[in-house]
C-alpha cells in the first residue's frame, strides 16, 4: 500500500510554541538581576582582598601581590579556606567546586531546582576564597549564582523542568556576560556545556538574557573589552599558520595535564583521614606558600593576564605562572574550595604562549599568548567555539579569528583523544552520572512510519461472532510475533484493537453473547507520514509499544508499527558510521590495451 509524501504543513523544522514569549520575558528580567549580582560579586572580591591583605576598607579590585605583610601573608589563604570549609559544612556543601559542574548537577539530578540560600552563600564564599588569595576566577561562582537566581525565579511560576532549565542556564549565561563583557561567548558556553540541546525554545531566552546583561553591564561595570590588545595582522602566512598548529597541539597537551592535576589533587585529599571541611584550609596553606614564591599567582590575576597579552613580561613571570600558578590552582581546586576555572586557564594559556613566542615566528606583541590562551581554554573545557569567541570578545581583535580557530580545534582534538571527559564533566561523572557531549540529529527524526511498518498482518472484522473468529483464525493464522490485532469494518476502517491474550480469552469463553465489543478498546494509532521520533514519544506517553498505522484521511488500516520496527533506524545510523566502502573506483588501462 503506497502513501502520500508528508506535506509541508504537517511537518516543521521546529517545535517551539508561544510558551517561548513568557519564558523570554522572565529571561530578560533574570539578565538584569544577574548583572547586579556580577557587580556585587566583583565588589565583594575587592572588599575582602583589601581587608585581608591591606587592612583597609575598599571595593576596588586590587592584586594581593602588592601587600607588605611578609610571612604573615602565609596565614591569609589558610584563614580563607577555613571560613569556606565552615560555610560548606554548616551552610551548603553545594558551594564547593568551581560552579559549572554544580550547575550541571542541578540540571541533571535536581530538575533544575536550586536552593535559594545558594544564591547568597556561593558568591560570598567565592569572594572570601578569592579575596584571601585563592588563584581562581570570578566566572564560575557567577555562573552558579546566576543559575541559582534563574532557578529561583523559575520556581516561583508554574513551569516544566525543561523551562526551569532554560531559565537556570539563562541566569548562568547572563552572569558570565556581565562579568566578562562577552555575551556571544556566554550563549555558546550555555549551548556547549549546559543546555544539552540546540532548540529555539531554549537558545532564544538564553540569548536574550545574555544580551540584556551585556547591555546593562555598560552602565554598571563599564564597556569591554576586558583585555584590550593591539590589532594583529589579518594574515600571518604559512609559517604563522604552522606555528598555530604547534600552539594548538601544545595547548591540548597542557589541557590534559591540567585536568589530570586537578583530579589527582582531589583524589589525594580524599585519602586524608580528616573531614572534608578542613581540606580548603590545607589547600590554603599551599596557596600561601605559592604566594610567597610568586606573589602574582594570588587572586584573580586580571592584571597579569593583561601584561601577558601585551607581550612585554619578564621570563620569570612566564615561568612563575606555568609552574607556581598551575600548581596552587590545581591543588586548591582539588581541595573543594569555591572558585572558577576560566581566568586561571586564560593566564596559564597566555603564559604558554609566552614560551612559544620565544621560538615561533614573531607575529606581533602578544600574538602567541592570545592564541594559546584561547586554545588552552578550548582543550580544557572541551568547548572550542566558546573558547574562540571568548578570546575575541575579551580582546576585540577580530584579525586572530582564523589562527584561533586552527589552534583551538587542534587543542580540542588532542584533548578529546587523550581525555575521556573534560575538567567540567569529570566531577559529575565521579558522582555516577554520564553526560554525552556529542550532539547529533536523532536518526528517528529522518525516517517515517511508512518506511518501517509491517503490512503483512491479520486484521479482524468488527462484525464477526466468536464462532466466526475461531474459523477466521484457523484460515488466516496471525503472523509470528503479532500480539495486537486491529479490528476493522467492511471498508478497513479501524474501529479498535484487541491483544492476543484478550482474543484467546474471548474465543475460550462459553458465553453465547460474547463478542469483540466486550474486549475492544480505542486504538492509539500512528500515521504513515509521521517521523518515527513522534511515534516513540507516543509510545512513551501511552505505554503501548504496538500501534496500528492508519491513513489520516480515510481512516483505513495501512499497517502496524512496533517498538522492534524502530530498530532499522538505529541500524542505518550504525551502518553510516561503521560501514566503509569505496564509492568511486579508478580503473587504469592495462598495458596490453595500451600496446
The reply to whether 179 and 66 lie within a common domain is yes
Query: Does the pLDDT value for residue 4 go beyond 50?
Result: no
Task: Select from 131, 121, 127, 52 the least CA-distant residue to 89.
Answer: 121
The Cα 288–Cα 295 span in angstroms is 9
Least confident of 132-141, 196-205, 440-449: 440-449
Residue 20 confidence (pLDDT): 92
- Cell 517515517 locates to 448
Task: Select from 340, 114, 100, 107 the least CA-distant residue to 202.
Answer: 107
Beta-bridge mates of residue 493? 556
Highest mean pLDDT among 333-347, 472-486, 580-594: 333-347
The reply to whether 400 and 334 lie within a common domain is yes
Question: Which of 189, 220, 251 is at the close of a domain?
Answer: 220
Highest mean pLDDT among 56-60, 96-100, 323-327: 323-327
Q: Map residue 367 onto helix, strand or coil.
A: helix
- The average pLDDT across 109-126 equals 79
Query: Does any domain span residue 226?
Result: no
Nearest 5°: phi and psi at 493? -85, 135
- The average pLDDT across 399-423 equals 92
CATH code where residue 393 lies? 1.10.3080.10
Task: Select from 529, 518, 444, 457 the least CA-distant residue to 486.
Answer: 457
The reply to whether 72 and 122 lie within a common domain is yes
Query: Does any domain span residue 45?
Result: yes
The reply to whether 279 and 198 lie within a common domain is no
The Cα 153–Cα 27 span in angstroms is 9
Question: Which of 430, 455, 487 is at the close of a domain?
Answer: 430
**Do β-strands 546-550 and 460-461 pair in parallel, antiparallel, or remain unpaired?**
unpaired
Query: Does any domain span residue 479?
Result: yes
Who has greater pLDDT, 253 or 581?
A: 253
Q: What angle do CA 267, 270, 273 make, to 5 degrees?
A: 145
pTM of the model: 0.82
The Cα 77–Cα 80 span in angstroms is 5
The reply to whether 173 and 146 lie within a common domain is yes
The Cα diameter of the chain in Å comes to 102
Show the cell assigned to 550.
Answer: 492508519
pLDDT band with cut points at 50, 70 and 90 for residue 487: confident
Residue 3 confidence (pLDDT): 39
Query: Does the pLDDT value for residue 371 go beyond 70?
Result: yes
Task: Select from 402, 305, 302 the least CA-distant residue to 352.
Answer: 305
Residue 509 confidence (pLDDT): 67
Q: Total structural domains in the chain?
A: 3
**Segment 119-153, tens digit of pLDDT:** 888 889 889 999 999 888 877 788 878 888 888 88
The reply to whether 252 and 355 lie within a common domain is yes
Residue 461 confidence (pLDDT): 80
Beta-bridge mates of residue 488? 461, 494
The Cα 87–Cα 83 span in angstroms is 6
**Segment 257-284, tens digit of pLDDT:** 999 999 899 999 999 999 999 999 999 9
The reply to whether 421 and 558 lie within a common domain is no
The reply to whether 343 and 475 lie within a common domain is no
- The average pLDDT across 51-66 equals 89
The Cα 393–Cα 390 span in angstroms is 5
Other CB atoms within 10 A of residue 463 CB: 12
The reply to whether 156 and 183 lie within a common domain is yes
How far CA 395 is from CA of 180, 219, 224, 305, 374, in Å, comes to 11, 20, 8, 11, 11
pLDDT band with cut points at 50, 70 and 90 for residue 7: very low
How far CA 293 is from CA of 136, 297, 473, 493, 526, in Å, comes to 18, 9, 89, 84, 70
The Cα 468–Cα 100 span in angstroms is 66
CATH code where residue 493 lies? 3.10.580.10
The tally of CA atoms less than 13 A away on the side-chain side of residue 74 is 9
Nearest 5°: phi and psi at 223? -80, 160
Nearest 5°: phi and psi at 497? -140, 155
The Cα 534–Cα 550 span in angstroms is 15
Question: For every residue of 92-152, which 3-state class applies, written as one string?
Answer: CHHHCECCHHHHHHHHHCCCCCCCCCHHHHHHHHHHHHHHCCCCCECHHHHHHHHHHHHHH
| Whether the Cβ atoms of residue 121 and residue 91 lie closer than 8 Å to each other | yes
Q: Kindly write down the DSSP assignment for every residue of 414-429, as one continuous string.
A: HHHHH-SS-TTTHHHH
Q: Map residue 433 onto helix, strand or coil.
A: coil
Query: Does any domain span residue 109?
Result: yes
Query: Does any domain span residue 12?
Result: no
Query: Does any domain span residue 187?
Result: yes
The tally of CA atoms less than 13 A away on the side-chain side of residue 129 is 36
Query: Does the pLDDT value for residue 103 go beyond 90?
Result: no
- The average pLDDT across 225-243 equals 90
End-to-end CA distance of the chain: 57
Query: Does any domain span residue 365?
Result: yes
Count Cβ atoms within 10 A of the Cβ of residue 429 and give its class: 0-12 exposed, 13-18 middle, 19 or more buried.
middle
Who has greater pLDDT, 312 or 407?
A: 407
Query: Does any domain span residue 311?
Result: yes
Query: Does the pLDDT value for residue 225 go beyond 50?
Result: yes
Task: Starting at the earlier edge strand, list the strands of the sheet with 460-461.
Answer: 460-461, 484-488, 494-499
Least confident of 17-31, 222-236, 442-456: 442-456
| Whether the Cβ atoms of residue 278 and residue 85 lie closer than 8 Å to each other | yes
- The average pLDDT across 507-519 equals 65
- The average pLDDT across 312-337 equals 91
Domain of 65, in residue numbers:
20-220
How far CA 413 is from CA of 352, 378, 434, 517, in Å, comes to 18, 10, 21, 63
Task: Select from 164, 202, 155, 149 the least CA-distant residue to 34.
Answer: 149
- The average pLDDT across 348-355 equals 95
The reply to whether 376 and 488 lie within a common domain is no
Q: Map residue 253 onto helix, strand or coil.
A: helix
The reply to whether 117 and 175 lie within a common domain is yes
Question: Which of 194, 220, 246 is at the close of a domain?
Answer: 220
Residue 278, C-beta contacts closer than 8 angstroms, at least 6 positions apart: 82, 85
**Segment 388-402, tens digit of pLDDT:** 999 999 999 999 999
- Report how far Cα 355 is from the mean position of its chain's Cα atoms: 32
The reply to whether 328 and 185 lie within a common domain is no
Amino acid at each position: 500500500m503506497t502513501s502520500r509524501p508528508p506535506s509541508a504543513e504537517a511537518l516543521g523544522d521546529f517545535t517551539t510554541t508561544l510558551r517561548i514569549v513568557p519564558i523570554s520575558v522572565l529571561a530578560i528580567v533574570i539578565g538584569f538581576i544577574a548583572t547586579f549580582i556580577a557587580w556585587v560579586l566583583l565588589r565583594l572580591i575587592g572588599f575582602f582582598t583589601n581587608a585581608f591583605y591591606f587592612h583597609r576598607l575598599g571595593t576596588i579590585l586590587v592584586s594581593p601581590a602588592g601587600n607588605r605583610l611578609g610571612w604573615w601573608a602565609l596565614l591569609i589563604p589558610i584563614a580563607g579556606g577555613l571560613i569556606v570549609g565552615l560555610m560548606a559544612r554548616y551552610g551548603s556543601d553545594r558551594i564547593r567546586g568551581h560552579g559549572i559542574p554544580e550547575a550541571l548537577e542541578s540540571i541533571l539530578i535536581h530538575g533544575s531546582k536550586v536552593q535559594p540560600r545558594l544564591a547568597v552563600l556561593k558568591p560570598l564564599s567565592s569572594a572570601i576564597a578569592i579575596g584571601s588569595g585563592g588563584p581562581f576566577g570570578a566566572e564560575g561562582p557567577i555562573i552558579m549564582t546566576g543559575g541559582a537566581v534563574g532557578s529561583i525565579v523559575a520556581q516561583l511560576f508554574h513551569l516544566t523542568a525543561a523551562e526551569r532549565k532554560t531559565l537556570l542556564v539563562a541566569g548562568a549565561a547572563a552572569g558570565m556576560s556581565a562579568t566578562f563583557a562577552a555575551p556571544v561567548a556566554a550563549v555558546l558556553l550555555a549551548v556547549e556545556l549546559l543546555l544539552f540541546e540546540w532548540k529555539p525554545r531554549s537558545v532564544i531566552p538564553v540569548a536574550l538574557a545574555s544580551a540584556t546583561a551585556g547591555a546593562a553591564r555598560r552602565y554598571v561595570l563599564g564597556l569591554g573589552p576586558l583585555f584590550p590588545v593591539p590589532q594583529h595582522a589579518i594574515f600571518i602566512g604559512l609559517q604563522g599558520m604552522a606555528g598555530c598548529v604547534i600552539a594548538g597541539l601544545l595547548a591540548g597537551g597542557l589541557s590534559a595535564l591540567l585536568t589530570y592535576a586537578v583530579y589527582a589533587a582531589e583524589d589525594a585529599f580524599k585519602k586524608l583521614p580528616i573531614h572534608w571541611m578542613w581540606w580548603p584550609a590545607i589547600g590554603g596553606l599551599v596557596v600561601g606558600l605559592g604566594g610567597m614564591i610568586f606573589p602574582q599567582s594570588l587572586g584573580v590575576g586580571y592584571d597579569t593576564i593583561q601584561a601577558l597579552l601585551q607581550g612585554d613580561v619578564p621570563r620569570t613571570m612566564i615561568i612563575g605562572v606555568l609552574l607556581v600558578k598551575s600548581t596552587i590552582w590545581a591543588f586548591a581546586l582539588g581541595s573543594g574550595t569555591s572558585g572558577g576555572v576560566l581566568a586561571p586557564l586564560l593566564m596559564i594559556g597566555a603564559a604558554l604562549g609566552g614560551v612559544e613566542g620565544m621560538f615561533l615566528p614573531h607575529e606581533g606583541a602578544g600574538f602567541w599568548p592570545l592564541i594559546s590562551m584561547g586554545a588552552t581554554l578550548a582543550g580544557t573545557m572541551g568547548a572550542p567555539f566558546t573558547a574562540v569567541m571568548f578570546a575575541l570578545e575579551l580582546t576585540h581583535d577580530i584579525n586572530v579569528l582564523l589562527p584561533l580557530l586552527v589552534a583551538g580545534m587542534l587543542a580540542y582534538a588532542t584533548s578529546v583523544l587523550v581525555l575521556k571527559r573534560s575538567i567540567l564533566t569529570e566531577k559529575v561523572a565521579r558522582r555516577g552520572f554520564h553526560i554525552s557531549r556529542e550532539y547529533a540529529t536523532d536518526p528517528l527524526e529522518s525516517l517515517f512510519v511508512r518506511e518501517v511498518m509491517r503490512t503483512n498482518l491479520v486484521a479482524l472484522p468488527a462484525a464477526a461472532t466468536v464462532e466466526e473468529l475461531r474459523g477466521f483464525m484457523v484460515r488466516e493464522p496471525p503472523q509470528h510475533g503479532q500480539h495486537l490485532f486491529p479490528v476493522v469494518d467492511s471498508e478497513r476502517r479501524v474501529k479498535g484493537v484487541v491483544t492476543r491474550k484478550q482474543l484467546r480469552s474471548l474465543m475460550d469463553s462459553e458465553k453465547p453473547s460474547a463478542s469483540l465489543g466486550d474486549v475492544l478498546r480505542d486504538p492509539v494509532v500512528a500515521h504513515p507520514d509521521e517521523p518515527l521520533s513522534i511515534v516513540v514519544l507516543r509510545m512513551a506517553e501511552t505505554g503501548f509499544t504496538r500501534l496500528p498505522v492508519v491513513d489520516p484521511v480515510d481512516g483505513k488500516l495501512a499497517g502496524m508499527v512496533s517498538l522492534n520496527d524502530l530498530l532499522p533506524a538505529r541500524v542505518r545510523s550504525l551502518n553510516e558510521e561503521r560501514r566503509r566502502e569505496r564509492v568511486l573506483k579508478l580503473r587504469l588501462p592495462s598495458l596490453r590495451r595500451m600496446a
